[in-house]
Amino acid sequence: MVAIDRTEELHATIEARLRRVEQRYTGGRRALVDLLLDAGRPLSIGEIAEALPSLPRSSAYRHLVDLQTAGVVRRISATDEFARFELDEHLTEHHHHLICTSCGRVLDITPSAGFERTVSRQLGELAAAQGFTPTSHVVDVLGTCADCA
């Protein structure tokens, strides 16, 4: 049961991160993390509310803020008006997004390590030229998803 072990390890890491900022890994928070975990793509508040009907929105929003503070969740803004949430890359792996400009859905893609190296190096040089200190990068592909095509 390697998969389950990994999941448990993940939850342990998350709990540790929450403790670091004096917060508990409660049921509501864990439900949210589990949801993001098995969605495998960034979810909007609407999708979260639909998947977890018993979780009030005010609590969902607060949990998301707390989880962001703890470095567990990352917030991204796509092309539509709603923010979307995904697990931090430290818990999953470095990846980028395909954003459907028709329905707003966001899918994950993971480029090769070589690609990432090239991108980082090039962008690092350009950033340095403007006195900018890079910490990470975001690569989004805009277009139309299979459902909307």
Where do contacts with DNA occur on this chain (CB under 7 A)? Answer: 18, 22-24, 26-29, 44-45, 54-59, 61-63, 65-66, 81-83
39 binds a copy of itself (CB under 8 A): no
Compose the 78-107 pattern: x for residues touching a copy of itself by CB under 8 A, - for all others. ------------------x-x-xx-----x
132 binds a copy of itself (CB under 8 A): yes
* Binding-site partner at residue 58 among a copy of itself, DNA, none, CB < 5 to 8 Å by type: DNA
Give the pairing of strands 43-44 and 106-109: unpaired
CA distance 147 to 96: 20
DSSP conformation letters of 18-69: HHHTT----HHHHHHHHHHHHH-S-EEHHHHHHH-TTS-HHHHHHHHHHHHH
**Nearest distance, CB of residue 100 and a copy of itself, angstroms:** 7
Q: Under a CB-based contact definition with an 8 Å cutoff, are residues 144 and 101 in contact?
A: yes
Reading phi first (left if > 0) and then psi (alpha if -120 to 50, else beta), residue 57 is in alpha
* Binding-site partner at residue 145 among DNA, a copy of itself, none, CB < 5 to 8 Å by type: a copy of itself
Segment interacting with a copy of itself (CB under 8 A) among 1-9, 26-34, 48-56, 133-141: 133-141
Residues paired with 44 in a beta bridge: 84
**Residues lying near a copy of itself in the complex (CB under 8 A):** 77, 96, 98, 100-101, 107, 109-112, 115, 118-119, 122-123, 126-127, 130-146, 149
